[in-house]
Chain A
């Protein structure tokens, strides 16, 4: 290579030169040092080329080595050929062949029935079943995305979530479809119930706020209620349910601070309390009567009543056993569960959340 005649551009574009600038040449390669010693007048040009190359460096998205090897493993697993081991002796007996084919047919039938019984419930299938023209919002950002609907409802779509709704709502109902997680703030309209289809769950409301977490990949679907009243229908609802009257008998009704977890395998609905129940505001169905949690020798019955009203929860306990218990504790900002822990300590009791109710067990106070 005749480097004497090179211009700055030529140097910049020369692989060998670039490797030298980037320090990618082997230690023993001292060509460029020697060359520069021989042609010191080229120094200026070399420095210029170096400057251009350095300036052209780009930012690179950091690579997570562990993730890369996981991804590579995944690709290899997905392309793993099914290996049928040839064992000629195995099928020599005819009855074994028959048994094997019976088992195969059985498996096939089981699979067939299995797939048939599973009505399409996935978001995509729900969407394609819709006749009306629909609008889809996808949140590909890392920030929540606010979506306003024509009825005044506001839906906060979490990252990696999709929401689909008709460009105009039907006359008798408002139907939307969710994949992922979203918070719903629904405008009240008693004549038009609001229905959310999310994986296997259908959530029906009249006017309320609640959140749904229904990622296609997750093992469960979760509906949490903040205000108002919500009914959730489970099971193989999906497309079939769309045009049928909502059957409340098959679902559960949730009130504020309650949530329902729908496990997908095996299919099971569990009603429980949200992780951090909030004190209900006056707008809610259960208005606050006494915001003070400053208990001073207060009978336990009254303590529990205060909690029940404040958080809209049901507390189950044996009045007979607890009749002598009183609580003196200046409670305030703690979470409901912290309050319960403290109270239970005082009255030597335990509590557990069963079916969205708080069940107290105690040996009583003397």
Chain B
């Protein structure tokens, strides 16, 4: 991942119509977006379509885009919204949940078994941990993902998920506290 100032410079150049900067931005963010997208939607084809759409729109609307220091945040948010609309349309086509407003569901899973082996744990700790992880809500998972994988601050996470700053903070702290307790040996 290139540093922030490089990305900001690329963004400014791209807005002026610089094709190379545009291509570079796509190369930098495609996988980041794919990773997030596949945690919001199981269908890879839909995710790919949404990403393509997003970049096409960026190019078409480049003259109207504002300068932003938070390019990644901007892109992730746009993708989240796209997937939200796409899934909503699909749900309606299938005549499910027409009356309820559809929420983006975070479907990312923890890969605890594979990683925890690296550090010393007892069976009991592992059991507790598994229990806690399965109990984490979709929102908690998404906050954790955005914080640890996309390195976003609380303000961005709150904005992206349309929750308030304090909720974003609380969601993460509750989760970490629970996991911390799992580590404590009885």
Q: Among residues 7 to 36 in chain A, which have CB atoms less than 8 Å away from a CB atom of chain B? A: 8-9, 12-13, 15, 18
Instruction: Confirm or deny: A363 has a beta carbon within 8 angstroms of a beta carbon on chain B.
Output: no
A71 to B33, CA, bound (A): 13
Q: Name the contact of B27 in the complex, choosing from A54, A72, A78, A138 (C-beta under 8 A).
A: A72
* B183 surroundings in chain A (CB, below 8 A): 48, 51-52
In whole angstroms, what is the CA distance A135 to B116 when docked? Answer: 48
In the bound assembly, the distance between CA atoms of A59 and B26 in angstroms comes to 23
Instruction: Give the interface size class of chain B.
Output: 35 or more
Say if the beta carbon of B81 comes within 8 Å of chain A: no
User: Could you say which residues of chain B place their CB within 8 Å of the CB of A76?
Assistant: 19, 22-23, 26
Tell whether A63 is near chain B: CB-to-CB under 8 Å: yes
* Cα distance, A79 to B53, chains bound together (Å): 11
**A1: CB under 8 A from chain B?**
no
The answer on a CB contact under 8 Å between A56 and B52 is: no
CB distance from A363 to the nearest CB of B (A): 54
Partner of A50, one of B34, B114, B119: B119
When A13-B176, A58-B108 are in contact, do A79 and B115 touch as well, CB less than 8 Å?
A: no
Closest to B178 in A: A52
Tell me the complex Cα distance, A56–B121, Å: 15
> Which chain A residue shows the least CB distance to B118?
A54
Q: Are A68 and B34 neighbours in the complex by a CB distance under 8 Å?
A: yes
Is A57 interfacial (CB 8 A cutoff)?
yes
B116 to chain A, nearest CB (A): 6
The smallest beta-carbon distance between B99 and chain A, in angstroms, is 17
Whether the Cβ atoms of A54 and B119 lie closer than 8 Å is: yes
Give 1 or 0 for each of A39-76: 1 = CB within 8 Å of chain B CB.
00000000110111111111111010000100110111
Stretch binding the partner chain, chosen from B69-77, B143-151, B159-167: B143-151
Quick check: A58 and B111 within 8 Å, CB to CB?
yes
Chain A residues within an 8 Å CB radius of B145: 58
A71 and B51 contact, CB distance less than 8 A: yes
Bound Cα distance from A118 to B106, whole angstroms = 43
Binding site of B, secondary structure by majority: helix, strand, loop or mixed? helix
Q: Which of B45, B60, B110 contacts A59 (CB 8 A)?
A: B110
Is A241 in contact with chain B by the CB < 8 A criterion? no
Q: In chain A between 246 and 304, which residues have their CB closer than 8 angstroms to a CB of chain B?
A: none
Interface check A323, CB cutoff 8 A: no
Q: Does residue A348 face the partner (Cβ distance < 8 Å to B)?
A: no
Interface string of B102-113 (1 = CB under 8 A from A): 000000111110
**In chain B, residues 131-186, which have Cβ atoms closer than 8 Å to a Cβ of chain A?**
133, 144-145, 147-149, 151, 172-173, 176-177, 179-180, 182-183
Is B85 located at the chain interface by the 8 A CB criterion? no
Q: How far is the CB of B180 from chain A (nearest CB, A)?
A: 5
Tell me whether A63 and B34 are in contact in the complex, defined as CB-CB below 8 angstroms, given that A52-B180, A79-B59 are known contacts: yes
Specify which of A12, A18, A47, A55 is in contact with B115 (CB 8 Å cutoff): A55
Shortest A12–chain B CB gap in Å is 5
Task: Name 16 interchain pairs, CB-CB below 8 A, sorted by A.
Answer: A9-B177, A13-B172, A13-B176, A52-B183, A54-B115, A56-B148, A61-B39, A61-B44, A68-B34, A71-B30, A72-B27, A75-B52, A76-B23, A79-B56, A138-B94, A160-B45
Interface of A toward B, CB cutoff 8 Å: 8-9, 12-13, 15, 18, 47-48, 50-61, 63, 68, 71-72, 74-76, 78-79, 81, 135-138, 140, 160
Give the 5 A-B residue pairs with the shortest CB-CB distance, closest first.
Answer: A61-B38, A79-B59, A59-B111, A57-B115, A52-B179
Interface residues of B (CB under 8 A from A): 19, 22-23, 26-27, 30-31, 34-35, 38-39, 43-45, 48, 51-52, 55-56, 59-60, 90, 93-95, 108-112, 114-116, 118-119, 121, 125, 129, 133, 144-145, 147-149, 151, 172-173, 176-177, 179-180, 182-183
Given contacts A52-B180, A55-B182, A56-B144, 19 further A-B contacts (CB under 8 A): A9-B176, A9-B177, A18-B148, A48-B180, A51-B119, A55-B110, A55-B116, A55-B133, A57-B112, A58-B110, A58-B149, A60-B35, A61-B38, A61-B44, A72-B23, A75-B55, A79-B60, A81-B19, A136-B93
